[in-house]
Structure 1
């Protein structure tokens, strides 16, 4: 829930010229949050209208006008002159001359967000905004699936939704900078970049172990997905929880002394896993899940659309909208957050062009704000001002979801103070990384740095009165607090929202809990793999006829996307003046929302999405194929007759003039033909031949490929500091984040200092709000 404000929040005007899932999803967030979004469509309509439930889920609450950017220049100029944000995707920038330079010259106040598959200037720039291609080229697909089978795309359009979250964040950063400079910005987001950013653990592993990480699947390893009597259960626990695990399983064979010893247990892994599979196979999936959660074990079950729409947890929280109020042209779930001024969750998607040339609420009055800041000898003050300059963030986040949110805020200028205690530091400091380093010998895990560079560290024991006094003094000065504890922990620490709001009514408070702060499952624990299952993502990911697949602990996809959205929502609240709000964000709901079209399809047709490898409706062939060499793969995604004709022209046995129905009905035969062709050629050679024939194809990259690709380094998706750490998920043309400072060591414990010493320390810790601008101006004047 959010604290209501007497003053209504700022509403922005957004123009959306996009026909991709990423562009539509980005615009949907603005529309649902109460902003005025005008969707520009050709006279034939957005191609997504052919996907009824996808179009409805991503376009509800928008206005629709028929506008051809290439020809309706005056109408477009009228819209952009009055707009704050422009969302555009593949092809529109070039065809309508909406390049960064053109927009900067004609509409200097505008914040433009470009959402493409591979980024502007890429050799694959003209490709479709397809999630499989983006996840393959970015390297994420290498990590999804079983190690002895083909790489997979995650279920749904995950790289598109993740890019939409980044675009949302980038737009808000651009607007925050505009407040200080009067200038807009051009924010470039590539789906493949975001996929690579999400797979940052693979970069760390490769850097530290010189081993190329690959998919580990969910049928082996320390955590596994096991078939229950009526579904699938994710068995997830840590070594110190073995006794609780044995009690949950309830089989006396697991009580043998040999299994109590971790070393012997590891040697006899398959023996005890076979016992677990036998026992769980006789039990209901939901019963195993709830039983394990009562013991504090973060088990999950593979929820599908039917499970999600009937979930008491999701219904109680209002995420699933009541059956009696649903309408087919509106979503069946709301956004995974509630804020003042949000649009009616039952608002429908617009009919084509139903709002004429301009929506009634739209005028041509400018919203551009101040005049652009002057330049001095080729430099400008605004280019040196970070978007979040002056924002003070208290970061209680741990592992990824919370800690990565703080990292994203620090990257773009916020002063972020990471608060831990010596007794209970961030578990990532001692986490066993995928490379096997940084745990048992006391060496800090290399995965810790990626989520915590650029922050300052402070150690406080909040179990003591003195510790609470100090943190309360910090809270009174802060702008934002981030936490991802289990429900109830913040109250015991004295930093719950109610306490914090009394101390600082203007502070924006973000809670990134597993399932939200209320509801029958709110106290349950989770890791990213748990959320893969509970969100419905695992049930939509996998091989045809096979079990559900999670993104694995080597990726933990839910943790990554939740942090992207968390940073965006914080910045949105700051920019729109929604101070004092409590952003109660359920990680389960965030990932489930990316499957909103599948939930709507089940609600209205009864059809449930099942794993089908990489095949997707409306695109065939659409899969990954083996190339010559060891574990070399490439991805192909054909969406048009021209794509398929190009493919048939290369491969004997495929018809040049067959209709789409033939390709769809003979997918197994087609895939066999393609695989026979690709496995005779090296990956990059095959991709080049396919591209020249007009067939959308990309290599399935690995962490080793990313380490060698100049483009990957130039776009700063990973940084050397001196080891590989996660980089930045987007390119802001008006601001480049500096190389972040090293991650903080466990901070100095100041609880024994006197009040004057603490006050002096806090004064040094907190940056004055305008210091960066003053320093920038001084630097420019001295040039």
Structure 2
């Protein structure tokens, strides 16, 4: 794939208003979702398919035209070029595309990358100005990435699966392909960071996203608790723990509340607040009997009116008739012109950001013309732009200019979604100013952690707060006062970005809403991470991540076969983690593309529903209502976790290729399984699971993993947070930072050209008040378009 020397390299920095040129080499979900985001935003994404087409084209379930719902959802608005990378002609076709591309999305494992000449060093040698985003199972250089990226395996090895499900049953993967989507958001973020660095330095970069790292990053709270309490938390399921899912007359409701709200919950159920705090164990049967008599939405409405963040489990049928979704136009007609198109709108709303919801490409519809069109476009090689500003680093050696150096962020975020978004921007060089009230600081400052005494107000902080706020500056502004609002407006006039995740309506009352701040700074990028969006009949509702598990439809497709819905639980709160990755990526996109004066309205509920687009399409076209399927997924069989001889030890197996099934057959039951067709494996999943379970129960988990790996079968141990901390890769790739005495979350991916320094400690309340407010030039030179 070597190109002539005169065609190599150069800065590909293009007009910020021009569409990016993206080449996608994907077989798995994660890279496809990343490409879908770029295609939806109006960029030119060319999907390079093998002869015969992408396997997802014909992966069941299929629409009436024989196209898989997953393909029509994940590959909408892309173009298709057929390129057989095992031939010289195919590699030449790809090389011509890459000669003029801005971005390569790939999920090739190391063996396939070597065979096709697409290793990271080779790409950087031939196309030094190209930005490459690799989204694989375990990293671009890890042999485990020779197997397709799989959310179940990632969640098992990353420790997330050990937190999902009932404590006395098998670990679960979240419904759909959640870690793949979260990895796509991370890849999108990394792509924008790398493009910003290219614009300044004239060089491309390689962003390396591993699904198992992303799963571990999502489960950061378990790692903190393991460090503090010296014991790993485990799954609490839906029937134990402080929050529970109970039956309503027509479905399920999740009771989500804080300890001090037990009186409100008792008032909801009995009509009056008790004289003394109720005993939870005595009250749960009372709550269950009361809820069983009422419709789920009635319970939800009554609870929300009292200020309780209760949510009902919405199935995909509920969502399509939901008044909030209807008012915001979230759904699209699934059929257009005889084809099935993406059934949902954008994952976020913003005036000025386009979004396409068209059909997927026909095989080869881009044809040779796509490569020729790009080839005849003149190469643009402007001088690299100068970098401005410095990042707030902790200790350590000098680092290259950070991608977000010179960007100033006002972080009004709290708890996880907003605060974690600010942390991500700070990690990559932005100056992030955390704004709090002295009377009502971020509740995470004193968030309890098992095994640790409560934090002291204004002094010690919870390690939960530390993880989400490291590397920031801290100021106190009382926004209920005129002086506080004036100070905020002065900061906003010099800032580039504002982040908030308040309940809708709060920022307007505080004079911190988009319209008010845009009046003092028309170029602001303003990110709102709300529960259900900035408008609509339910915009002001309260929620936690577990509420959104339910309301988004995710819980309805997570769980054991034949059972009720399952959430990610208070210990994980998956929607918060996904929203922070997506929020940071969307901010970075606007900064990289020169989009200013924009209000980014991210409904966390809609974002998680968006990850279920293929299931929504299936329901809209066929009427089939998806239900929990345990760990089984389309496109892979067997695909589940199996008990080992060790107590409470499990191993996951996920076969997506015939060769893997044959290898597994020879290992566990050659007489019964060898030589069976793919269809036989699908039709006899229960029997296959029985045979595999018998084999795994006779061996330790370590023996199972060793034998499966040597046979070439995709597998992963189900690790707890305590076991995960002993895996060298998570330390080496800096998914977590610190040692046994101090622990905080690290970074969700690596970049070959930039390694974030360990961030400075989270600020004490108002720590940087004088520095930030007294110096009119503190925020530095504002970003220029």
Q: TM-score, normalised by structure 1?
A: 0.91
Matched residue SS, 2:134: strand
- Counterpart of 1:400? 416
Partner of 1:486: 503
2:730 to 701, 707, 712: 712
C-alpha distance after superposition, 1:672-701 (max 9, x if no partner):
221222122111221110111222111112
Contact 2:229 2:450 in 1 (8 A): no
Residue matched to 1:775: none
Q: Aligned partners of 2:494, 2:175: CA distance in 1, in Å?
A: 43
Q: Please state whether the residue corresponding to 1:654 is helix, strand or coil.
A: helix
Instruction: Provide Cα deviations, 1:174-212, integer angstroms capped at 9, x if missing partner.
Output: 001111101110000011110010010111011111102
Q: Which residue of 2 aligns with 1:158?
A: 178
Structure 1 residue 384: deviation in Å?
A: 0.6
* Farther-moved stretch of structure 1 (117-126 vs 506-515): 117-126
Distance 1:371 1:634, change over 3 A: farther
Structure 1: distance between partners of 2:43 and 2:693: 47
SS at match of 2:694: helix
Match of 2:58 in 1: 50
Please show how residues 450-599 of structure 1 align to structure 2 within 5 Å. Answer: 450-599=467-616
Partner of 2:445: 429
Name the SS of the counterpart of 2:528 in structure 1.
strand
Please say which of residues 271-280 and 625-634 is displaced more in the overlay. 625-634
Partner residue, 2:621: 604
Deviations, residues 143-200 of structure 1 (Å, cap 9, x unaligned): 1111111111100011111110001000000001111101110000011110010010
Alignment of 1:711-750 (within 5 A): 711-720=729-738, 723-748=742-767
Instruction: Tell me how large the CA RMSD over aligned residues is.
Output: 2.4
Q: Where does residue 356 of structure 2 map in the other structure?
A: 345
Query: For each residue in 1:325-362, what CA deviation from the matched residue of structure 2 results, as whole angstroms up to 9, or x when unmatched?
Result: 69642111111223466556341111000121133863
Distance 1:40 1:758, change over 3 A: closer
Q: Structure 1 residue 439: deviation in Å? A: 5.1
**In 1, Cα distance between equivalents of 2:424 and 2:338:** 37
Q: Which residue of 2 aligns with 1:673?
A: 691
Q: 1:500 to 1:342 in 2, by over 3 A?
A: closer
Question: Quick one: distance in 1 between partners of 2:657 and 2:537?
Answer: 47
Aligned: 1:286 with 2:297: yes
Q: Which of 89, 92, 99 is the equivalent residue of 1:81?
A: 99
Whole-Å Cα distance in 1 between the matches of residues 274 and 497 of structure 2?
A: 50
Q: Which moved more, 1:126-135 or 1:453-462?
A: 126-135
The SS at the match of 1:124 is: helix
**Corresponding residue for 2:328?**
317
CA 1:710–1:394: 2 relative to 1, 3 Å? same
Unaligned 5+ runs, structure 2 = 1-14, 60-67, 387-396
Q: Offset of 1:501 from its aligned partner?
A: 0.7
Give the stretch that moved more between structures: 8-17 or 179-188: 8-17
| Paired residue secondary structure (1:357) | helix
Pairing partner for 2:157 from 125, 137, 157: 137
Find the counterpart in structure 1 of residue 192 from structure 2: 172
Distance 1:321 1:523 in 2: 24
**2:229 is matched with which residue?**
209
Q: How does 1:632-643 map to 2 (within 5 A)?
A: 632-643=649-660
- The counterpart of 1:387, out of the listed 373, 394, 403, is 403
Counterpart position of 2:377: 365
Structure 2 distance, partners of 1:443, 1:187, is 36
8 Å contact from structure 1 (residues 183, 370) kept in 2: no
Deviation, 1:666, is 2.5
Distance in 2, Cα, partners of 1:674 & 1:105? 45
1:67 aligns with 2:83: yes
1:147 match = 167
The alpha-carbon distance between structure 1 residues 509 and 758, as it changes in their structure 2 partners (threshold 3 A), is closer
User: In structure 2, do the counterparts of structure 1 residues 89 and 637 end up closer, same or farther at CA, with 3 Å as the change threshold?
Assistant: same
Q: Number of residue pairs matched? A: 744
Q: Quote the Cα distance in structure 1 between the aligned partners of 2:368 and 2:768.
A: 62
Tell me which of 761, 775, 781 is aligned to 2:775.
761
Is the 1:304–1:539 contact (alpha carbons within 8 Å) kept by the matching residues of 2? yes
Give 1:709 deviation, angstroms: 1.4
* Cα deviation digits, residues 512-550 of structure 1 (max 9, x gap): 000000001001010000000011110010001111000
Whether the 8 Å contact between 1:110 and 1:185 is mirrored in structure 2 is yes
Query: Matches of 1:526 and 1:154 in 2, distance apart?
Result: 19
Alignment pair present for 1:40 and 2:56: no
Distance in 2, matches of 1:109 and 1:605, equals 46
The answer to whether 1:417 aligns with 2:433 is yes
Pick from 27, 35, 41 the counterpart of residue 27 of structure 1.
35
SS for the counterpart of 1:109 is: coil
Shift of 1:78: 1.6
C-alpha distance in 1, partners of 2:655/2:407? Answer: 46
Partner SS for 2:777: helix
* Secondary structure of the corresponding residue to residue 106 of structure 2: strand
Q: Could you say what secondary structure the match of 1:227 adopts?
A: strand
Shift of 1:703: 1.4
Alignment check: 8 A CA contact 2:76 2:358 kept? yes
Distance 1:238 1:566, change over 3 A: same
Deviations 1:56-114 (A, max 9, x none): 11111111111123432332222111111100113353332111211111111111000
Change (3 A) 1:368 1:198: farther
Q: CA deviation at 1:127?
A: 1.8
1:361 to 1:515, Cα distance in 2 relative to 1, 3 A: farther
Cα separation, partners in 2 of 1:434 and 1:529, compared to 1, 3 Å: farther
Measure the CA separation in 2 of the matches of 1:102 and 1:412: 26
1:466 & 1:74 partners in 2: Cα distance? 64
Aligned to 2:713: 695
Aligned to 1:14: 22
CA contact (8 A) 1:79 1:364 kept: no
Q: What does residue range 214-225 of structure 1 map to in structure 2 within 5 Å?
A: 214-225=234-245
Paired with 1:121 and 1:75, the residues of 2 have a C-alpha distance of: 25
Classify the secondary structure of the residue corresponding to 2:628.
coil
Distance 2:376 2:745 in 1: 42
Give the CA deviation at 1:240: 2.4
Query: Structure 1 residues 80 and 438, CA, compared in 2 at 3 Å: closer, same or farther?
Result: farther
| Aligned equivalents of 1:455, 1:719: Cα separation in 2 | 16
| Compared CA separation, residues 303 and 124, structure 1 to 2 (3 A) | same
Alpha-carbon contact 2:263-2:274 (below 8 Å) kept: no
Kept in 2, the 8 Å contact 1:223–1:237? The answer is: yes
- Report the secondary structure of 1:120's partner residue: coil
Query: In 1, Cα distance between the equivalents of 2:357 and 2:761?
Result: 46
Cα 1:370/1:700, change in 2 over 3 Å: farther
Unmatched 5+ residue regions in structure 1? Answer: 1-6, 375-380, 771-783
Equivalent position SS for 1:428: helix
2:145 pairs with one of 125, 147, 164: 125
Question: Closer, same or farther in 2 for the Cα pair 1:604/1:742, shift >3 Å?
Answer: same
